[in-house]
Structure 1
Amino acid sequence: MKDTQILSAFHDMPPPADDGRPAGAQPVEAGLVFDACQTGVVLRAVLFVEVSAGVGVAFFAHDAMDWVIRLAMVTGGALPATLSWLLLACVSKRVLARLPPVAQYMVAVLMGAVAGLYGCGMLAWSGIMISPPWVASAFSGALLSGILVAALVMRSKGRMPADTSARLAELQSRIRPHFLFNTLNSAIALVRAEPAKAEALLEDLSDLFREALKDSGEPVRLAQEIELAQRYLAIEQVRFGDRLRVQWALDPDADGALLPPLLLQPLVENAVRHGVEPSDKGADVRISTQRRGSMVVIKVTNTVPNGQGEQGQGLALRNVRERLDLLHDVHSQFRSALKDGVFQVRMEVPI
């Protein structure tokens, strides 16, 4: 199993879906980058627009009373425009959820421009404005909606560390029991015949569980993740024997890259679970790292049984991708593909 053969899958296959599913799989709905149906969002949006209007009219007011009068006039158009934008965004929530994030931003800005025109029309219809500033109103609505959406996205990302920590804790608490039982049974079988090997097996299991149950959300070096994966595969090697064929291609210059803790472990575990376990002939598992300039490329590759389709690890891939994005944001890449009986996950992280 050569890297060049597997990497060609990424050039020949369509780009993978945003949720980390292999190419060719059915796409899932993208999440909303902002949700206008929440009460807190409505209150923040109205307050934000009112503050912006107050600051804007302050440039033209001669005194405090003039400022109040001008603000009341602008509010007569800004408030209906804001509420109409929120209502439209809430009603079209399901439609927006099917769009990619960039398209959601564009639609939100466009709705802001329409809302600005609506507010200006309200002032023109009431006779408050004789010469309505249509163009300025449209651009103002687009600008304010863009800033509002950006603020909502930042607020949502601010909650992600807590959400991710909760998901990680849940995954850590659900370590597969049969993996523990199988490992202990393997150790029992080795106690009399090969006691040194049994001791090494139990030491690997102890270190693996110690890392898995560690209460830490701090990034770790790639070298630590590699060491943990090696201990896991050493345990599984005792269980599967020749059925598990592991290849390592590690670049020492890549060891300093930072990753979220336990990022590599679920990928290696899934390679064993979906590649080795279902096949009587076993599978080839390859883990490689390579530094390319300021980036590090990490690949986890495994063969799968004939006729097996998408590996049943969508949740694991999605979790890994979200945690990687949380740490490195746009500086990281995550891709996965299944082609000709070979499944590969490819990640790029800065160093």
Structure 2
Amino acid sequence: MIEAFSQRRGATIYMLVWLFFGLALGGVIALASDTPLANAMLFAVPMTVVYALVAGYSAYYLCRAYPLGARPAGAIAAVLTVAAVVSSVLWLLIGHLWNTLTALPDVPWAGLVITPQLSALIVGLGILLYGCAAAVHYVVIEFVRARSAERRELESMLMAQEAELRMLRTQIDPHFLFNSLNSISALTSSDAGAARRMTLELASFFRQSLGMEAHKMVTLGQELVLIRHFLAIEQVRFGDRLRVECAVDDAAGVCLVPPMLIQPLVENAVKHGICNLPEGGVIRIAARRAGSLLHIRVDNPVDEDMGGNLDGSSSSGNSTGSNTGIGLANVRQRLAGAYKHEASIRWGRQDNNFNVDIAMPAHTTEHRE
């Protein structure tokens, strides 16, 4: 029985079951033929252990060669019947050989008389045990096949999910690079030194982001380091107009998030908030852990004359909005792909502030469900 012996626990259980049959056979022989119990056990137990290996492997390979549903039921039954009879007869012959070897002179506890009734009992029991072994093998084979199919389906789903998340993530870098290069282009004519500093900061930003590329998850603390590089780039452009307040508790900083999940929100805050305010304003980034949830908030001022909500209407879970830009839409889809219904994102305008709130599982070690 290949599946049984693939693990030590399975092999132990398998052999214990057959040992029980050997003890039972020895007890029946002792009671039915007035044979001493020691003689009956010495005959039955070793012989049954040998049959456990012979019948187990024979039934396994026949069940693999004749899978259910692939061949006619009559053909399968005929093959298994012939195999069971042959195995039982061989088992009886092994019993005769073993009895001859153990029938030592002057040893009263060894050897017994194999009567026609005992021979019939051994053959009949061998056929029955062979059939049970075949039935167990079919059950195990179908169980393993079902588990393999389920595992393949799960792997396909995970691969599709990872491909989708990878595609969504690749939208971020070109989008950010396009905006940054436009800013550098605008600065080259007015402040060449600032354009050079911005180029160096941009190189540092992408060096940091490339280091995160190989990871499916990074800590929120690592994400904030990347955001500080981004804000340093924008600081060259906006100067004192851009101010940042960051309040992240220690428990939240070690939680895992998808790479570059928060950066698009901060970029939106600069592009749609600070950029439209002559006096500038403060971008606030806050994160806290509450039990099994991680709460992240990005808040920024907006022009009071700007109608409606920034970058789309309030959204939660997997819903979509027709006016949603690449930033919030991308973050929403990445959250849905990584956490399904366990994560949500909401955004909206309150007075002259626009805020984005994310609630997601607070994981500190990367794992898949």
Q: Which has the larger radius of gyration?
A: 2
The higher-RCO structure (CA 8 Å, 6+ apart) is 1
TM-score normalised per structure 1: 0.49
